[in-house]
Amino acid sequence: MVKGWLISVIGLLGGILALAGLIFSQWAPSQIWVATICEVLAIFCLTLYLARNWERLKSFSTQRSTRMGANSLLAILLLVGILAIINFLADRHGGRWDLSESQHFSLAPQTYRVLGELDRDIKVTVFSHSRSPGFGAYRDLLESYTHGNSRISVDFVDPESRPQLAREYHITQLDTAVFQSGSQTIHITKPTEVELTSALIRVTRGTKKRILFLQGHGEREIDNRERDGFSLVQEALLKQGYEVDRVSLLQERAIPEGTAVLVIAGPRHSISSPELERITEFLNAGGQVLLLVDPETTTGLETLTAQWGVTLGPGIIVDQLDRIPRGSPTALRVRRFTDHEITRDFTEPVIFPVARMLTFDGVAGQGREFTPLAHTSEKSWAERNFDDKNPVFNENEDIPGPLILAAILESKDSLKNGPISQGSLAILGNSTFASNAYLKFPGNTDFFLNTIAWLAGEKALVSITPKNSVLRPFIPNPTQEHMLLAIQVFSVPMLLALLGYTIWRRRNRL
């Protein structure tokens, strides 16, 4: 006959085996047979324990204290079960709320738009581990992406434990994410929403669209890393999945085929008539052109814009309301936008160090649709006197605002057949805003890249501005310091002491 102490050991062993099987099934799901053996042995041990102690348990269950305890235990189990079911349903079908002030844990509306249009499976392999700096950022962001579209699958791989797989994916540094879709593969090394969404778009595109920058007239160079260069523009476009190059119409007889957008960024010298004819032919054939024209420059583009009904106004714009505080009177902080697809979701201002106005003549531009993108306040004007460091509006010389700073021109036929089916012309009255010195401002990046994306016919490919954490420390004044001292150091402890004394007196009276 089995001794009593041995039965107790068998019962304890059964509980341990049951717990071990549960843990092992989660720790090593690929070896589920080990967990199965543990659970089978646990059932055997627990069944033997119950059989040997059945009479004792039966008599114990008839006691009043046992019935009361069983009711309490049953209530607790029911509550735990209800909470487990609610948690399960919330995890599978519940919504997500971000209550942070800057919406730091929410994806941008543009990213949700991309996720909503995703029509193919995407596999994301992140080569990282829990101790690396980017692991947490990748995990949190990609969880939001998979919640937004179930066609995205994510797998985290430790390159130190699986070096062969890391070599197959050509991984050279930790915290690298690989996006795969069909034959397309994109590597990124920064766990930011900008990089992830850009990779998501690039990996789902069959071909890259080509952006060409005109050169030969003192335009801003895309390989110039100085403050006035456009190297950051080139990097931003490459991250968005474009092919970026330069073109000289002094050497080419026509703009190369396959060009999605031609950018003319701040020319300083005149563009010849044959070059303007080639640009016009490109527009008439359905091409897309972006003009960044600085104030007080004569480049020959005036002839091209006049054909579309646009006049590049004289002077430099001054705005008393929308200007950079303590900056130059001509340094604009543009925050008045129209309801166009390019500027519809704008929350950040665009910094224009200097700018010129645009005007549209409906007669000269007959057959064209003119859509302003940004304009100044009613307290602005186009200043004609450049010698005055503190300009004042002169009714006889200056042009009063509000003034248009940027606009889109389309053929009215294209509006019937689709917004990008015919040639379109985007004109911005400044090129400095996209230079290396100013492109770091979130609004400037959004404005430039959104314009390029719209012209290229890729409305989903837009700039995602990184979210900065909002830190606003409370610095009390002397009166507030005294109040905090009185409340925290004296009032609260005295209140707790009084409450304790009251409870003590009442208990002694019982």
- For residue range 53-100, list pLDDT tens digits in order: 666 665 655 656 555 555 556 556 656 655 665 565 555 555 555 545
* Distance (Å, whole) CA 451 – CA 437: 19
* Distance (Å, whole) CA 367 – CA 283: 14
Residue 469 confidence class, pLDDT cut points 50, 70, 90: very low
Name, in order, each residue with C-beta under 8 angstroms of 292's C-beta and a sequence gap of 6 or more.
220, 263, 264, 265, 266, 428, 430, 431, 434
Which residue in 319, 293, 324 sits closest to 306, CA to CA? Answer: 293
**The pLDDT of residue 232:** 92
**The pLDDT of residue 471:** 45
Residue spans of beta strands (DSSP E) within 108-253:
122-127, 152-157, 176-181, 184-188, 210-214, 243-247
DSSP state of 406: E
Q: Which of 67-71, 105-109, 293-297, 302-306 has the lowest mean pLDDT?
A: 67-71
* Distance (Å, whole) CA 292 – CA 286: 20
Name, in order, each residue with C-beta under 8 angstroms of 430's C-beta and a sequence gap of 6 or more.
292, 293, 294, 295, 352, 353, 354, 355, 356, 405
* Distance (Å, whole) CA 332 – CA 439: 15
Q: Which of 178-182, 215-219, 435-439 has the lowest mean pLDDT?
A: 178-182
pTM for the model stands at 0.62
Residue 420 confidence class, pLDDT cut points 50, 70, 90: very low
DSSP 343-382: TTT--S-EEESS---EEE-TTTTTTEEEEEEEE--TTEEE
Between 104 and 401, residue with greater pLDDT: 401
- Which one of 85-89, 199-203, 339-343 scores highest in mean pLDDT? 339-343
**The pLDDT of residue 47:** 79
Tell me: the pLDDT tens digits for 446-460?
899 889 988 988 765
Q: Calculate Rg over the CA atoms of the chain.
A: 34
Q: What is the mean pLDDT of residues 378-390?
A: 80
Task: Look up tokens 């000269």; give the residue.
Answer: 364
Q: Does pLDDT of 462 surpass 60?
A: no
**The pLDDT of residue 419:** 43
Q: Does pLDDT of 229 surpass 90?
A: yes
Q: Which of 26-40, 213-227, 397-411, 465-479 has the lowest mean pLDDT?
A: 465-479
Backbone phi and psi for residue 2, each to the nearest 5 degrees, phi listed first: -75, 130
Q: Does pLDDT of 191 surpass 90?
A: no
**The pLDDT of residue 470:** 45
Residue 276 confidence class, pLDDT cut points 50, 70, 90: very high
Pairing of strands 152-157, 122-127: parallel
Q: Does pLDDT of 315 surpass 80?
A: yes
Residue 278: helix, strand or coil by DSSP?
Answer: helix
**The pLDDT of residue 212:** 95
* Residue 42 host element (H or E): helix 32-52
What are the Cα distances from residue 304, in Å, to 104, 283, 298, 358? 45, 10, 12, 14
Alpha helices in 117-162 (DSSP H): 135-148
